Structure 1
Amino acid sequence: MSFPAACCDTPPVKATYLPRGAKTELAGVKCYTSGTKDAKRGLIVNYDVFGLHANVVQLCDILGEMGFFVVLPDLLRGRELVEADLGKRDVFNSFLHNAGSWGSNKESYCKLRDYLKDNGVSAVGVIGFCWGGKMVVTALSELEGFAGGAIVHPALIQPGDMAKINAPLLVLPSKDEPDFTEEFNSLKEKPFFSKCQMVRFDDMFHGFCGARGDWSNPEQARRANDAIKLLVKFFNDVISQQGK
């Protein structure tokens, strides 16, 4: 398994943003949090390979304003990839087997899910960007207790991955991702398929909603906002009843 070329070769955007949330530690995991702590609906956000980028922090703040308590764990803990790593397939593949492996991140998912539920959150969703999309699909397949998940310009999704999930899924690919139609259609036999959705952003590129998006560009900002609206609607639909 390897990263797609668009992921390996495209640098993150230099962006600035003044966060409205807070850095903290939950269940032993360093996190950025946004939204009201007494919210009944929680979201765990898995950033992309570039870590705590300003864009994903801003996105978390937007979701926090929509009534969710949003947790952005610093899963990579200083082991995120940097611009100097671009084009180095061996570095990306090493990342997959070490800091970016499911084995390295499963415990954090479990700890944060349990923390949220132990502290009054009645429904938890998960969102993943790029590499984080693979983590989210794996979490929905192997772990219980998540009401639904969303993957945005996901990387590393393999044939058969989506068929294993046990909760509703929102899929938001860009033009640089494969055609996931067959994978998505494998969900039709699931009892929750009516809540699943796939919307392609074929006018956008891998990373437009994460670290590679130039949100000073009006069109990129507009399309990122379109993706955020879909995220909000999806999670309102799948966890609204559980999270009241």
Structure 2
Amino acid sequence: MSDCCKTGFNWDGQPTGKETTLANKKAYVTGTDKNAAVLIVHDVFGWTFQNVRLLADHYAKEANATVYLPDFFDGEVVAPETLEDPEKRKSFNLPEFLGRNSKDKRYPEILACAKALKAEYPKVGAIGFCYGGWAVFQLGADPGFLSCISTAHPSLLTKEEIDKIAVPTQILAPETDPAFTPELKEYSNKVIPQRGVPYAYEYFPGLVHGFAAKGNVNDAKQKEGMERAKRAAVNWFNEFLH
């Protein structure tokens, strides 16, 4: 992960869901469907990040699903002002943050949430933004838990995680992304079609890492990309959860 994971824009809006718990984790939940659920694995801005809560509301309404956004950072929250404040971005030590939130530490919690949803809902999908990208790939290695995954500009993703994917997979990839490099993009497009699962690679020219969850709504190109990414994820969930 790099400094691009700390930059972006805050969106206006009022989330319509509520706070609950899932597998002993605090979680934002929105939607009431009993047959399909979506697990969101958040980026470094955590479960309270308004942009992702607003996206959760869209997924719930437009994909007819109950959407859960749990807290996978033990209550640690990066102030949303960090996105647009150079001084706060500078003071946010990303390597130390990742040390507190390593894959080995957080994946068991993420898996526990997926298992809890699978015990309650016939079909479960997952989407991961940035930090959450590697996590949904690990979940997607076992078709017993998920019906599909989606990820937007994944970070920390490895070739070994790509190699093991076993459920329908969607990638929302901007043109410029230091985290999801051209090498990883090429590798995904080579390997995943050989895995025998439905695969959709959505390319967003002119856009950069973070666009799907932190883009500038006042920039026409970025706004169009965000809306297209949202529609793509909704269509993916509608296809494989219903």
- Interval containing the TM-score (normalised by the shorter chain): 0.7 to 0.9
Counterpart check, 1:199 vs 2:202: yes
Tell me which residue corresponds to 1:225. Answer: 227
Residue 141 (1) aligns with residue 141 (2):
yes
1:235 counterpart = 2:233 = no
Which residue of the other structure, out of 2, 18, 39, is the alignment partner of 1:4? 2
* Distance apart, 1:5 and its partner CA: 4.3
Query: Which residue is 1:186 aligned to?
Result: 191
Q: Distance in 1 between matches of 2:187 and 2:23?
A: 38
CA drift of 1:75 comes to: 1.2
SS, match of residue 37 in structure 2: strand
**Residues 27 and 220 from structure 1, CA distance in 2 versus in 1: closer, same or farther, beyond 3 angstroms?**
same
Are 1:209 and 2:212 counterparts? yes
- Provide closer, same or farther for how the CA distance between residues 202 and 118 of structure 1 changes in structure 2, counting only shifts above 3 A: same
Preserved CA contact (<8 Å) 1:4 1:155 = no
Q: Is the 8 A contact 1:55 1:213 kept in 2?
A: no
1:207 and 1:173 map into 2 onto residues whose CA distance is 10
SS of equivalent residue, structure 2 residue 28 = strand
Q: What is the letter of the counterpart of residue 132 of structure 2?
A: G
Aligned to 1:107: 108
Q: CA deviation at 1:21?
A: 0.7
The amino acid of 2:156's aligned partner reads L
How far apart, CA to CA, are the structure 2 residues paired with 1:47 and 1:136? 11
CA distance in 1, matches of 2:115, 2:50: 27
Distance 1:237 1:14 in 2: 30
Q: Does the Cα contact within 8 Å between 1:6 and 1:176 map onto a contact in 2? A: no
Q: Match for 2:51: what amino acid? A: N
Name 1:56's counterpart in structure 2: 52
Residues 5 and 43 of structure 1: CA distance in aligned 2, closer, same or farther (over 3 Å)? same
Q: 1:168: which partner in 2?
A: 168
Q: CA deviation at 1:142?
A: 6.2
User: 1:12 touches 1:50 (CA, 8 Å); kept in 2?
Assistant: no
Task: Write the distance in 1 (CA, Å) between the matches of 2:188 and 2:196.
Answer: 16
Partner of 1:132: 132
Q: How many residues matched? A: 229
Asked if 2 retains the 8 angstrom alpha-carbon contact of 1:47 and 1:72, the reply is yes
From the superposition, tell whether residues 117 and 164 of structure 1 become closer, same or farther in structure 2 (CA, over 3 Å).
closer
Distance apart, 1:161 and its partner CA: 2.6
Judge conservation of contact 1:44–1:125 (CA < 8 Å) in 2.
yes
Bigger share in strand: 2
- Unaligned regions of 5+ residues in structure 1, if any? none
Identity of paired residues, percent?
A: 24
Tell me how far 1:198 sits from its aligned partner.
0.5
Deviation at 1:85, TM superposition (A): 6.1
Q: Which amino acid aligns with 1:77?
A: D
One-letter amino acid of the structure 2 residue matched with residue 33 of structure 1: V
SS in 1 for 2:69: strand
Cα distance, 1:113 vs. partner? 2.2
**8 Å CA contact 2:133, 2:154 repeated in 1:** yes
Aligned match for 1:74, one of 61, 71, 75: 71
More helix by share: 2
Deviation per residue, 1:111-148 (Å, 9 max, x gap): 322322333x1011110001111121122236841111
Query: What is the Cα-based RMSD across aligned positions, in Å?
Result: 2.2
Residue 34 of structure 1: which of 27, 30, 33 is its match? 30
**Contact 1:146/1:167 (<8 A) preserved:** yes
Secondary structure of 1:204 counterpart: strand
Distance in 2 between residues matched to 1:154 and 1:200, nearest whole Å: 13
